[in-house]
Chains A and B, each alone.
Chain A
Amino acid sequence: MDFILGHYNYWIVIFLMMVGFYTVISRGNLVKKIVGLNIFQVSVFLLYISLSTVDGGTTPIVKEGFDLYSNPLPHVLILTAIVVGVATTALGLALVVRIKEAYGTIEEDEIHEQDHSL
């Protein structure tokens, strides 16, 4: 039971990762692919924050009367990752808009058909 409770977080994180991965590789709609990429991203955030948690610890802000804090370093890394993630999402969505203008569709197989590339 302790083993399951101690690893439940990581298993759900892996499940979310695989759901995002599956969306990216199996769906042809470009907007849905980007949503899948975002699910994958959030699962990585959850992995890092899970690793930083300490039992009985508090938020890492110095205050009298508390001496056990969670690890602040993964929080910093994930703050950076969230903001960079939004920047890449914006770039991907801009590409989707351009593809729609050029091809008239955002379905991958229709784009391949127009290009005779598959």
Chain B
Amino acid sequence: MIDIFINITLLAFLAITAVAMVRMSNLFAIIMLFGIFSFLSAGLFVVMDAADVAFTEAAVGAGISTVLMLATLALTKDHKEKKPLGHRPWLPLAVVIITGAALVYGTIDIPAFGDAKAPPQLHVAPYYIEKSMPETGVPNMVTAVLASYRGFDTLGETAVIFTAGVAVLLLIGGRRSKQSDKKQDEGKDDEA
């Protein structure tokens, strides 16, 4: 019972934080709220029995993502979001409400939260739960599936991260210092 109470409270906090992020225009505050948002979701993962996911979300989602965004803010030196002049909020709002209503309609058929007889619990999951310990000798089923049964998936993930790392280096690595010197020179010319 206490689980459900914590679950409801944390989800409500998540919703409030998300709305606050959309309404704010100070980018620094938005990024800090995003860190809070990630930590709240990590707490929620613990309540929903996903300890490994919670670790990863707290370290990678809340930690690295927030640091990357702060670094971008430091490099772009733009701390304030400008509201566009011809801003029409009703069109995106209508799109979002219609999409959301369609999705909510879709949830009516979903089995209730925590149902042990729901389809996701009946397909391949019982095999992993029963066989992963005797077959791989790893007590943590998530690790067994990640590194053993779905090892090629993880290899593909590593390839994706490597590609993204190379792309980031190609985009902003190397000639960065020269570029910013030129920028500063231009700025001085403008002032003069």
| Interface residues in chain A, defined as those with a beta carbon under 8 Å from any beta carbon in chain B | 2-3, 5-12, 14-23, 25-29, 31-32, 34-36, 38-39, 42, 45-46, 49-63, 68-76, 78-80, 82-91, 93-98, 100-101, 105-109
B-chain residues with CB within 8 Å of residue A61 when the two chains form the complex: 51, 139-141
**Given contacts A12-B14, A12-B15, A94-B167, are A86 and B64 in contact (CB under 8 A)?**
yes
**CB < 8 Å neighbour of B161 from A28, A87, A100, A109:** A87
B60 close to chain A: CB less than 8 A: yes
Most buried by B among A75, A78, A88: A75
Count: A-B pairs, CB below 8 Å: 272
* Residues 125-139 of B contacting A (Cβ, < 8 Å): 125, 128-129, 132-133, 139
Q: Verify B112–A3 contact, CB threshold 8 A.
A: yes
* Residues 92-124 of B contacting A (Cβ, < 8 Å): 92-93, 95-97, 99-100, 103-104, 107-108, 110-116, 118, 120-121, 124
B-chain residues with CB within 8 Å of residue A63 when the two chains form the complex: 139
Q: Verify B145–A76 contact, CB threshold 8 A.
A: yes
Q: Verify B53–A93 contact, CB threshold 8 A.
A: no
**Given contacts A18-B99, A35-B34, A55-B114, are A101 and B179 in contact (CB under 8 A)?**
yes
Q: Verify A8–B8 contact, CB threshold 8 A.
A: yes
**CB < 8 Å neighbour of A25 from B95, B161, B165:** B95
Q: Verify A98–B171 contact, CB threshold 8 A.
A: yes
**CB < 8 Å neighbour of A84 from B71, B141, B160:** B160
Q: Verify A72–B145 contact, CB threshold 8 A.
A: yes
Q: Verify B22–A23 contact, CB threshold 8 A.
A: yes
B2 close to chain A: CB less than 8 A: no
| Interface residues in chain B, defined as those with a beta carbon under 8 Å from any beta carbon in chain A | 4, 7-8, 11-12, 14-15, 18-19, 21-22, 27, 30-31, 34, 37-38, 41, 44-45, 48-53, 56-57, 60-61, 64-65, 68-69, 71-73, 75-76, 78, 81-82, 84-86, 89, 92-93, 95-97, 99-100, 103-104, 107-108, 110-116, 118, 120-121, 124-125, 128-129, 132-133, 139-142, 144-146, 150, 153-154, 157, 160-161, 164-165, 167-168, 171-172, 179, 183
Most buried by A among B22, B57, B75, B132: B22
**Given contacts A97-B75, A106-B76, A106-B78, are A18 and B96 in contact (CB under 8 A)?**
yes
